[in-house]
């Protein structure tokens, strides 16, 4: 059993129109639109489904917000692994099958799923960077018409109650075989999929008394695309939740926006990559949220 990536995010929303408009402006590709369900895909074939918050097929959520992420479905590399995982999970929790997804809940009550991965290759343009006498972008200009079209969903983040932290994190590490990348005593635990290299595909933020979905993060090509995507969202009237910056843990460029479908979304680029040679870092004090931020890049 090897989990490789986020395969599908299922939101329950109070306002389908607002949720659909938000993800349309975010730049993911719309594949289905209706009053009860709207569906988007990333360029690597991950699905974002919006359903009405009172849809009976949706699992409960510990998040008090009415519009929120109701199920995060993780992609598994092969059918044997999926079966092995299902049998293991059934020892101590209910596992049901729905539309090809094995459905269950984590230790905090967040709806989860497992399904076979179905990635699609996509061409990613690497824009060369000129510096001093190194001139890889000779006679080529930066495209002034570029628009963000997220390549993939990189990670999801939940806030979890501090008292339940050890149990919550152990479930992902021991049962779903995530790897720990960084852990801060006052902040939380950054974990990556067994079959992936991102610094984190999952971050559990430890809070005093709160279980809630926090954000989903979408990779774009580079820093320019983080800024171009965010600038477009602001022009469309969506509210930013942070200014742009660069994280310390994970090192990725970021820009967060408030999502009417639930929580926040983040554009990210250039995250640290780790394999099993990486030794998890345990921090007594968090090294901080950002290497740098700007007050407002678009005013
Ligand atoms: Fe993030």
What pLDDT, in 10s, does the model give residues 94-127? 999 998 999 999 999 999 999 999 999 999 989 9
Helix axes 223-235, 16-26, angle to 10 degrees: 140
CB-CB contact of 30 with 20 (8 Å)? yes
From the CA of 246, how far away is ligand 1's center (Å)? 11
Distances (CA, A) of 142 to 130, 146, 202, 292: 11, 9, 33, 24
Element (H, E) at 24: helix 16-26
* Pairing mode of beta strands 179-184, 281-283: parallel
Nearest-10 Cα torsion for 138, 139, 140, 141: 110
CA distance 174 to 32: 37
From the CA of 64, how far away is ligand 1's center (Å)? 21
- What is the predicted pLDDT for the residue at 173? 98
Domains and CATH numbers, the chain: 3-116 (3.10.180.10), 152-293 (3.10.180.10)
Question: What's the DSSP call for residue 279?
Answer: P
Residues, Cβ < 5 Å to ion ligand 1: 217, 266
List CB contacts of 29: < 8 A, sequence separation 6 or more.
Answer: 40, 41, 42, 43, 149
On the question of pLDDT at 194 being above 50, the answer is yes
Can you read off the two tokens belonging to residue 85? 């995982």
From the CA of 5, how far away is ligand 1's center (Å)? 15
From the CA of 278, how far away is ligand 1's center (Å)? 20
From the CA of 190, how far away is ligand 1's center (Å)? 10
What is the pLDDT confidence band of residue 209, given thresholds at 50, 70 and 90?
confident
On the question of pLDDT at 9 being above 80, the answer is yes
Alpha helices in 54-113 (DSSP H): 79-89
Say what percent of the chain tops pLDDT 90.
94
Distances (CA, A) of 3 to 30, 69, 196, 270: 26, 20, 8, 22
List CB contacts of 248: < 8 A, sequence separation 6 or more.
Answer: 287, 288, 289, 290, 291
**101-105, strands of its sheet edge to edge:** 29-33, 37-41, 47-52, 3-13, 68-76, 111-116, 101-105, 96-98
| Stretch 17-29: mean pLDDT | 98
What is the pLDDT confidence band of residue 296, given thresholds at 50, 70 and 90?
low
Using the structure block, give the residue that is written with the tokens 């974990």. 191
- What is the predicted pLDDT for the residue at 208? 81
| Stretch 153-175: mean pLDDT | 96
- What is the predicted pLDDT for the residue at 297? 53
CA distance 243 to 294: 6
| Stretch 238-264: mean pLDDT | 98
């Amino acid at each position: 059993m090897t989990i490789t990536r986020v395969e599908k995010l299922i939101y329950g929303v109070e306002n389908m129109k607002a949720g659909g408009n938000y993800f349309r402006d975010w730049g993911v590709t719309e594949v289905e639109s209706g009053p009860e369900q709207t569906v988007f895909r990333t360029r690597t074939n991950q699905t974002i489904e919006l359903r009405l918050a009172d849809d009976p097929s949706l699992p409960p959520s510990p998040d008090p917000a009415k519009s929120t992420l109701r199920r995060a479905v993780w992609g598994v590399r092969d059918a044997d692994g999926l079966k092995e995982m299902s049998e293991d999970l059934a020892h101590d929790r209910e596992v049901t099958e729905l539309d090809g997804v094995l459905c269950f809940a984590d230790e905090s009550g967040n709806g989860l799923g497992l399904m076979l991965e179905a990635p699609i290759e996509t061409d990613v343009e690497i824009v060369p960077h000129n510096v001093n006498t190194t001139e890889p972008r000779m006679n080529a200009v930066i495209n002034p018409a570029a628009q963000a079209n997220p390549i993939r969903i990189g990670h999801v983040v939940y806030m979890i109650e501090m008292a339940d932290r050890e149990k919550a994190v152990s479930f992902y590490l021991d049962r779903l075989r995530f790897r720990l990348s960084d852990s801060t005593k006052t902040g939380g635990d950054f974990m990556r999929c067994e079959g992936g290299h991102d610094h984190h595909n999952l971050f559990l933020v430890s809070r005093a008394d709160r279980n809630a979905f926090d954000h989903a993060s979408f990779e774009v090509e580079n820093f320019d695309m983080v800024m171009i995507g965010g600038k477009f969202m602001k022009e469309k009237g969506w509210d930013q939740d942070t200014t742009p910056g660069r994280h310390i843990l994970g090192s990725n460029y970021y820009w967060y926006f408030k999502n009417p479908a639930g929580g926040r979304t983040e554009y990210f680029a250039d995250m640290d990559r780790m394999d099993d040679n990486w030794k998890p870092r345990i921090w007594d004090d968090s090294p901080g949220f950002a290497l740098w931020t700007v007050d407002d890049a678009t005013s």
